[in-house]
Structure 1
Amino acid sequence: MQKIANKQPIYIRGCGFNSALGCSNDIIHQRLRQGMSPDMQPVQGWLNDGSDTVIGKVSSPLPTIDDNVFPHQNTDNNRLVLSALQQIEPDIHAAITQYGHDRIAVIVGTTTSGISDGERALTTKKNTQNFPTDYHYHQQEPSNTGQFIADYYQLTGPCYTLSTACSSSGRVFLSAKRMLKVGIVDAVIVGGADTLCRLTLNGFHGLDSLSSTLCNPFSDNRNGINIGEGAAFMLLARTPDERQPAPHIALLGIGDSSDAHHISAPHPEGTGAETAMRKALKDAKLTPEDIGYINAHGTATPLNDAMEAKAIARVFGNQVPVSSTKPLTGHTLGAASAVEAAICWHLLRYDLPLPTQINDGVVADDLPIQLAPADTVFTKPVMLSNSFAFGGNNISLIFGRTDD
């Protein structure tokens, strides 16, 4: 397999991941190859008007958190986070030994954080006139998860949370890269997490954005998103882990934009999306011809898929395989960037076939891109992953193998 030359990348020393796609390598790889996940589940009773929808639900048991040790941090979101972080604990502890607790930062992206715990607490208050004794508003604050990670690993470096809707856990990579490049820290735990809650589902339903069936990215019949939950975290550093032989997986480039076209609708021509992708290529010192696969934002809404396809076509033509993996995970909102970055990491790390585009096969004629067919093996070990958010807050990440 071809590798790319070292262009001063940021190295990924470990990746932990849990979503409807699974939480173990064997399950994740099997479902990626099969193009289906049984944890994308049709459900009833989540929407206030009684409508049906499909959700991406984590099915694996989650670790416990001791209320006495971590008061007000025992939340659904944090248990999901811990299930991902425990997969890379040896890498985290090795970094602590190498750099010290004060030289490791934590930067997290999320949207709803602990809202599901708040929903249960409000239900209890409605029924009993009192909040549960183990509930505190701090559990709902977006900063709760980042502080939990720092407390759990006793890290004293910078710790903060970004919340820019569906690009939240992509922007954490940008912040981490800047922090590493200027030498504020030596390693950063980055990622994102969001858990299912009724607030989000009913909010998107109110926007007429939910599909009642499995989402249908880049199909002429696409009609909305599926909401999912997930957590994905990586340990980033300026140097590779000497315990791991080459090739290494690295963050090569990042591009962002904020076109502010509309509070919820994307720019119809994808101008902000195009800007983000071009900036990512420039940051990585790569050309469009260097990219072997694009993991599209691909929400399966009419506006998003149309504008993203136009933007991709202007930058890459129709020569690069493209697919959206949201039919395997659901749209994990603030965690989406990190979840899809983790999918790219698995593809690169384990030489997996590119994810085929899951839809009904009725590809829209006005989408000028090459959708990834089944059993496509990538020959260029460089991937771009897009995430686009409300307000035109866009992020594009480039990952690849390095030859050092």
Structure 2
Amino acid sequence: MTTKIAKYTSTPVYIHGCGFNSALGDNHQDIHQRLRDGTYPQLQPVSDLLNSGADTVIGKVAGELPEIPENLQIYNAYNNRLALSALLQIADPIQQAINKYGRDRVAVIAGTSTSGTSDSEIALTENLESGQLPEHFDYSVHEANNLGEFIAAYFDLSGPVYTISTACSSSGRVFISAKRLLKAGMVDAVIVGGCDSLCQFTLNGFSGLEAMSDTFCNPFSVNRKGINLGEAAAFMLLSLAADDSEYTDTTSPIALLGAGDSSDAHHISAPHPEGNGAEEAMRKALDDAGMKPESIGYINAHGTSTPLNDAMESKAINRVFGANTPVSSTKPLTGHTLGAASAVEAAICWHVLRYQLPLPFQVNDGQIDPSLAPVALVKPGTPLVEPALLSNSFAFGGNNISLIFGYTHG
């Protein structure tokens, strides 16, 4: 049996490996089992993190994180250790790209919204209590660009390096930037992805916006209350060259087939109520791939479980795809990982394609909001039929990203 191939007309950007660590797990067995079962053991209720004293739910990674090498201690921050836990999973293809193209021809484009904020919180608390910052704390870990610089330093790269911070679309925009670098011939390979870690600042900020749920998030349900925050890291290596070595006669190389963005600037934090920017991003992604809506076999929705997001996203999806394309939000399994969310959900799409998993079904209480525009929420055991997946990420300020992933040739 050969893999059904997506019908696209753009030049694909090939994916050479995917490293992923989130509340879903940091290994294929856990990730696949939890996607199949819709289980979320690392989503945990907490009552001591919000200044208001309110309850909420967070998605934590499990297990020990790798240590930062001694010669890179200036980068020693929780967020960078979390990033390294995913990067080490694709260290071999990264090294192969370095050997093939040279250190100056491999770029790093990373996305984050928290960077080292959690370390800064600990350091400033200690300073208030003792009058001194921790001995090994370096303020540079707090800077947004620290993530990209750490990755480049770890792999000893001298190509272009930058970090994008556009809130919840941060690690989606990295794919667009990487595609442009590759097609301009400025580099031959790009490490892309994102990492965000839980911190008091973000948790209380979203609580102040009244966007947090006090229980498990409930996308597309009439009972939805808001988001659960999570932490995660997900990274991929991209190039314009296909590598068939890891594939068999039943699989095919996986690529970024299309990408679309928009900035509707409707409101600093609320999405456009009609989903105009979301619709524009999805249509641009389809145009970029040279694909029709009916070629998409699954939509990984932004699906934050806030009243406004799910309402506008349902409208936008319905206008572009109708009511039959399978849709689900995987945030009940990972939490909303903010700047890492795009990369996290791209990683989930990669796993579905690479290992031919059933589509992630919609985890919620089953009480679908009748006021939402109709969309086909995925049921358990639904297979992927059309071999292209679209993933949405929508951010503050109307910064919207849609990415299409699929098989290229068999």
TM-score (norm 2): 0.97
State the shift of 1:244 in Å: 2.6
1:100, 1:6 → 2: CA distance?
31
Amino acid at match of 2:60: K
Structure 2 match to 1:258: 263
Question: Are the counterparts in 2 of residues 18 and 232 from structure 1 also a CA contact under 8 Å?
Answer: yes
Alignment of 1:3-402 (within 5 A): 3-5=5-7, 7=9, 8-66=11-69, 68-245=70-247, 247-367=252-372, 368-402=374-408
1:391, 1:5 → 2: CA distance?
33
State the shift of 1:379 in Å: 1.0
Query: Where in structure 2 are there 5+ consecutive unaligned residues?
Result: none
1:316, 1:132 → 2: CA distance?
53
State the shift of 1:18 in Å: 0.3
State the shift of 1:71 in Å: 3.0
User: Could you list the per-position Cα deviations for residues 137-173 of structure 1 after superposition, in whole angstroms to 9, with x for gaps in the alignment?
Assistant: 1010011111110000000000001000000000000
Cα separation, partners in 2 of 1:305 and 1:5, compared to 1, 3 Å: closer
User: Could you list the per-position Cα deviations for residues 217-261 of structure 1 after superposition, in whole angstroms to 9, with x for gaps in the alignment?
Assistant: 000110000000000000000011243336101000000000000
User: Could you list the per-position Cα deviations for residues 322-351 of structure 1 after superposition, in whole angstroms to 9, with x for gaps in the alignment?
Assistant: 000000000000000000000000000001
Question: Are the counterparts in 1 of residues 244 and 252 from structure 2 also a CA contact under 8 Å?
Answer: no
TM-score (norm 1): 0.98
Amino acid at match of 2:26: C
Q: Number of matched residues?
A: 403
Amino acid at match of 1:146: G
SS for the counterpart of 2:71 is coil
2:301, 2:100 → 1: CA distance?
36
State the shift of 1:43 in Å: 1.0
1:200, 1:85 → 2: CA distance?
24
1:326, 1:5 → 2: CA distance?
29
Cα separation, partners in 2 of 1:31 and 1:396, compared to 1, 3 Å: same
State the shift of 1:61 in Å: 1.2
SS for the counterpart of 2:98 is helix
Percent identity for Structure 1 against Structure 2:
64
SS for the counterpart of 1:70 is helix
1:342, 1:98 → 2: CA distance?
25
Q: Quick check: 237-246 or 209-218, which moved more?
A: 237-246
- Which consecutive segments of 4 or more residues in structure 1 shift more than 3 A? none
Amino acid at match of 2:346: A
Give the root-mean-square deviation of aligned CA atoms.
0.9
Question: Are the counterparts in 2 of residues 298 and 324 from structure 1 also a CA contact under 8 Å?
Answer: yes
Question: Are the counterparts in 2 of residues 5 and 403 from structure 1 also a CA contact under 8 Å?
Answer: no
